Amino acid sequence: MYWTLPPAGAKDVREWLTHPDRHNKSWADRGAELSRLLMAAATPVPPPVGRPADVVPYGEWPVPVPLSTLPPVPPFPIDLFPAKVGDYWLAAAESLAVPVDFVAVTALPLLGVAVGRSLAAEAKRGFAEPPILWCPLVAPPGSTKSAALRKAAGPLPATDRERLRTHAADLNDYRSLCEEYKHALKARKKCPTGAPPDAPLKPVLQQVLFDNFTVEALIRGNAANPRGVALYKDELSGLVAALGQYKQGKGDDKQNLLSMWAGASVTKNRVGDEKAGVPPLMIGRTFLGVSGMLVPDALVWCFTTSVVLLSDPSVGVFGCPQARDAAGE
């Protein structure tokens, strides 16, 4: 077994493969060159010291430990968070008789959206990561997942409902302004003097939490709320099932979702918008947090669909025995 780092000058393998210097090479040639560089810099990893005598060797390494016997994991680092946040998570978990992980893990992406791009962790000069977090928590059915997720959201659902009420009132005003605009245009045709009337701007709903959604709706929601939006689902397996649901399983939903996972730019061109004189929807830097729950069977199903949704599957288990045991199943 060996370990190595990405080639010099690249933060990861993807950046190296897609660098403009290699655009004139085929993917096969890039892969062969990358393999050569990685193997040239690879360092052997010594086998564990003091392994049990009854472990059957697997080459130079012992047989992998079955997931059903996962070792103990550290508790959720509640002390790393402000006291008001940590105290709320602990009180919410205690009220539901669940480990604090159930509330805290699923709240992390929502905190990330609250921070947005106002702060970022700089791993090295020129390489900063904003708090775009995708944190599912795996737990068996009947383990109070839904109630914990509601506690994790805190006041955000109520805030969205208030924004929706305000938006409905703004739409009524907008319709009235549109009628006034039409009358003003007719009047100007009869007497074309002075500056033409200004068309009213349609109000935009600044929604933060999304549950039932399309990927395009997430993109448009992010455009309306540049600080960030969050996908907040009781059953995250629905995220996979919804991909391409209106396109017979085709389209670019998965690619757009992965672009949002990376915080990359997204542009949406629609024929209807072009005919209506509406410019393409472009977001220079997307921001999508994902928070929710999975049952163990759904976790297996998500992976077998070959759609990688978890930036770090270990985030969702921490020190929670129920979640850890469920993941082990």
Tens of pLDDT, residue by residue over 111-148, are 999 888 888 888 888 888 889 999 988 888 888 888 99
Do residues 39 and 71 both lie within one domain?
A: no
Is residue 146 located within the same domain as residue 19?
Answer: no
Beta strand 229-233 pairing with 288-294: parallel
Q: With respect to residue 256, please indicate whether it lies within any of the assigned structural domains.
A: yes
> Are both 320 and 231 inside the same structural domain?
yes
197 in a structural domain: no
pLDDT in the model for residue 50: 53
Indicate whether 169 belongs to any domain: no
Quickly count: other Cβ atoms within 10 Å of residue 294's Cβ: 27
| Domain end point (choices 21, 45, 62) | 62
Given 62, 85, 114, the domain boundary residue is 62
Which residue stretches of the chain have pLDDT < 50?
53-54, 56-58, 303-329
How far is residue 188's CA from residue 176's CA, in Å, rounded to a whole number?
19
Looking at the structure, tell me whether residues 105 and 34 fall in a common domain: no
Structural domain includes residue 306: yes
Residue 114 sits in the same domain as residue 48? no
pLDDT of residue 95: 93
Q: Look up the domain containing 295 and give its range.
A: 65-160+206-328
Do 146 and 226 fall into the same domain?
yes
Answer yes or no: do 280 and 218 share one domain: yes
Contact between residue 102 and residue 148 where contact means Cβ atoms under 8 Å apart: yes
Last residue within a domain, chosen from 62, 85, 100: 62
252: tokens are 């670019």
The answer to the question of residue 40 being in a domain is: yes
Q: Is position 296 within any domain?
A: yes
225 in the same domain as 133: yes
Quote the pLDDT of residue 216. Answer: 78
pTM value is: 0.65
Helix axes 156-190 and 145-153, enclosed angle (nearest 10)? 60
Q: What is the count of structural domains for the chain?
A: 2
Token pair of 47 as six digits: 């086998």
- Same domain for 247 and 143? yes
Q: Are residues 14 and 149 in the same domain?
A: no
Which DSSP letter does residue 159 get?
Answer: H
Q: Are residues 10 and 143 in the same domain?
A: no
- Asked if residue 193 is part of any domain, the answer here is no
> Does residue 119 sit in the same domain as residue 55?
no
Asked whether residue 156 is domain-assigned, the answer is yes
Query: Rounded to whole angstroms, how far apart are CA atoms 56 and 247?
Result: 50
Q: Cα dihedral angle (162, 168, 170, 175), rounded to 10 degrees?
A: 180
Extract the tokens encoding 275.
Answer: 């005919």
